[in-house]
Amino acid sequence: MAQLDIVDVAHAYEPDAEEERWALKPLNLTFESGKTYALVGPSGCGKTTLLNILSGLVTPSRGQVLFDGVDVTALPTKARNIAQVFQFPVIYKSMTVYENLAFPLQCRRWDRARIDAKVQQVAAALDLRDRLGQPARGLTADDKQLISLGRGLVRDDVAAVLMDEPLTVIDPQLKHMLRRKIREITEQFRPTVIYVTHDQYEAMSFAQEVLVMKDGRAVQQGTPEQLFEAPSSTYVGYFIGSPAMNFLTVDNNDGPFALGGRTLSVAWDIPRSTTEVQVGVRPEYVKVVTDPGHNTFPGRLLGVRDHGAQRVLEVEVAGQLVRAKTPREEGVPAGEEVLVHLPRAKVLPYTEGRLILQP
Ligand SMILES: Nc1ncnc2c1ncn2[C@@H]1O[C@H](COP(=O)(O)OP(=O)(O)OP(=O)(O)O)[C@@H](O)[C@H]1O
């Protein structure tokens, strides 16, 4: 497995377009060997363009692509030694499951014993062992995609495994299981994986590092925990997390920060002159409480939404909407009048959409 570097890479599908309209604005990135990355962002933000530049399907308008320090920018896909998994399964219908998994290894002229050991290992990881003798033709779309994934992961001599929305065709109920399998198999075989998805949940539950993209730019790269705990912008705070991070405008005229005339105690110190401070706090950290206390604000319960094992309470505080995510067993407040607690350590400062300070 290789380290992949993107050095000052940019791409415009229309050569004369001004920079603001480029599909990819100048970008420097390193994908470390043996790590799993997710490229995430809304439709049109440039994820597939970046993946295609890595695979060689698109030659960037400028910049270099390095695999372990070697410049591969001008090399076609087949000379880059990568495995690719696409949205739709790519399998050989006339072959058995075993033959499908073995095929990439036969092409590499591995000997039979080595091929068999590897196929058995990957099939075990993907729970495909009982279907190895079956023809691929009769399998469900989910199983076919599982084989595509297996084929992508079976070769341990590839520079990287590039996956473009591989779970799109998968039945929603099976997605969870497949995500877990991909995670297990990547933990076991340690490939360099770059995985494109528009689904932040998929990215956060699968990758070691997540790269959030917007309008052809990488706006934040970090571990799922870093993106959850300290989004570098309100954009990332909205995009990552369900429901999105709360952002509340606070008063910062004289004295301490305040929300609806009540003091909001915070764990940071920013210049008093900073205009329009918003505080960000994740719904997971907002508590609806019964007793007044430190950083507790009166609010009005507007609604309750079901969120699987949890509920989302929507509360108006000082004229602004605050969402609190609470375990189902905690129940719902009896009346409309509630108190909302914002934990000091979890309240972050933003101005003009940017995180001002790290906590
Ligand atoms: N072949 C192409 N020719 C011209 N413009 C293109 C081409 N492919 C993509 N684009 C444009 O480049 C921008 C980035 O597209 P890209 O497909 O990389 O985004 P994406 O984040 O992968 O989106 P999606 O999730 O919808 O696939 C978009 O504005 C898109 O319209």
For the stretch 27-44, pLDDT in tens is: 999 999 999 999 999 999
Considering the chain, what is the average pLDDT of its residues?
92
Q: Which residue puts its alpha carbon closest to atom 16 of ligand 1? A: 46
> Would the pLDDT of 59 be above 80?
yes
Tell me: pLDDT of 14 over 60.
Answer: yes
Q: Would you say the CB of residue 49 lies under 6 angstroms from ligand 1?
A: yes
> Is the distance from CB of 264 to CB of 346 less than 8 angstroms?
no
Pairing type for strands 246-249 and 193-197 reads unpaired
Give yes or no for residue 41 CB within 6 A of ligand 1. Answer: yes
Closest CA to 341 of 327, 359, 324: 324
Q: Among the atoms of ligand 1, which is closest to the Cα of residue 41?
A: 21
Residue nearest to atom 2 of ligand 1 (CA): 13
Ligand 1 pocket residue status of 135, Cβ below 6 Å: no
Q: Is the distance from the beta carbon of residue 47 to the nearest atom of ligand 1 less than 6 Å?
A: yes
- Kindly give the number of the ligand 1 atom that is closest to the alpha carbon of 198: 25
pLDDT tens column, 329-341? 888 888 899 999 9
* Amino acid letter, 233: S
* ipTM topping 0.90: yes
Q: Is the model's pLDDT at 291 over the cut of 60?
A: yes
User: Encoding tokens for residue 10?
Assistant: 């940019």
User: Which atom of ligand 1 is nearest the CA belonging to 216?
Assistant: 14
pLDDT of residue 171: 83
Average pLDDT, integer, range 102-110: 92
- Lowest-confidence segment of 6-20, 34-48, 170-184, 229-243 by average pLDDT: 170-184
Residue 254 reports pLDDT greater than 90: no
Q: What is the rounded distance in angstroms from the CA atom of residue 4 to the CA atom of residue 55?
A: 11
* 314 CA from centroid of ligand 1 (Å): 36
Percent of the chain whose pLDDT exceeds 90: 72
Q: Which atom of ligand 1 is nearest to the CA of 52?
A: 18
Q: What is the pLDDT of residue 290?
A: 87
Task: Check whether 322 has a pLDDT greater than 50.
Answer: yes
43 lines ligand 1 (CB under 6 A): yes
> Does the pLDDT of residue 106 top 60, yes or no?
yes
Distance CA 52, CA 46 (A): 10
Out of 58-67, 99-108, 251-260, which region has the weakest mean confidence (pLDDT)?
251-260
Residue carrying structure tokens 């129940």: 331
Tokens linked to 42: 């809304």
CA of 96 to the centre of ligand 1 (A): 35
Asked if pLDDT for residue 48 goes beyond 50, the answer is yes
The string of pLDDT tens digits covering residues 110-155 is: 999 999 999 999 999 888 999 999 999 989 888 898 899 888 888 8
Cα–Cα distance, 142 to 140 (Å, whole number): 5
Residue 169 confidence class, pLDDT cut points 50, 70, 90: confident
Task: Calculate how far, in angstroms, residue 161's C-alpha sits from the geometric centre of ligand 1.
Answer: 21
Phi-psi region of 95 (alpha: psi -120 to 50; beta: other; left: phi over 0): beta
Taking residues 84-88, report their average pLDDT.
91
**What is the C-alpha to C-alpha distance for residues 235 and 278, in angstroms, rounded to an integer?**
13
pLDDT value of residue 152:
85
Distance (Å, whole) CA 256 – CA 272 = 9
Confidence bin at 358 (pLDDT 50/70/90): low
Predicted confidence at residue 359, as pLDDT, reads: 47
259 CB near ligand 1 (under 6 Å) = no
- In 10 A of CB 72, how many CB atoms? 20
Tokens of 168: 């799109």
Nearest CA to ligand 1 atom 3: 13
Bridge-partner residues for 213, per DSSP?
Answer: 218
Q: Is the CB of 23 under 6 A from ligand 1?
A: yes
pTM across the whole model:
0.92
Q: Is the pLDDT of residue 281 over 60?
A: yes
The residue whose CA is least distant from atom 31 of ligand 1 is 44
Ordered domains of the chain (ranges, CATH): 4-236 (3.40.50.300), 243-355 (2.40.50.140)
Distance CA 318, CA 305 (A): 21
The whole-number average pLDDT for the span 239-256 is: 90
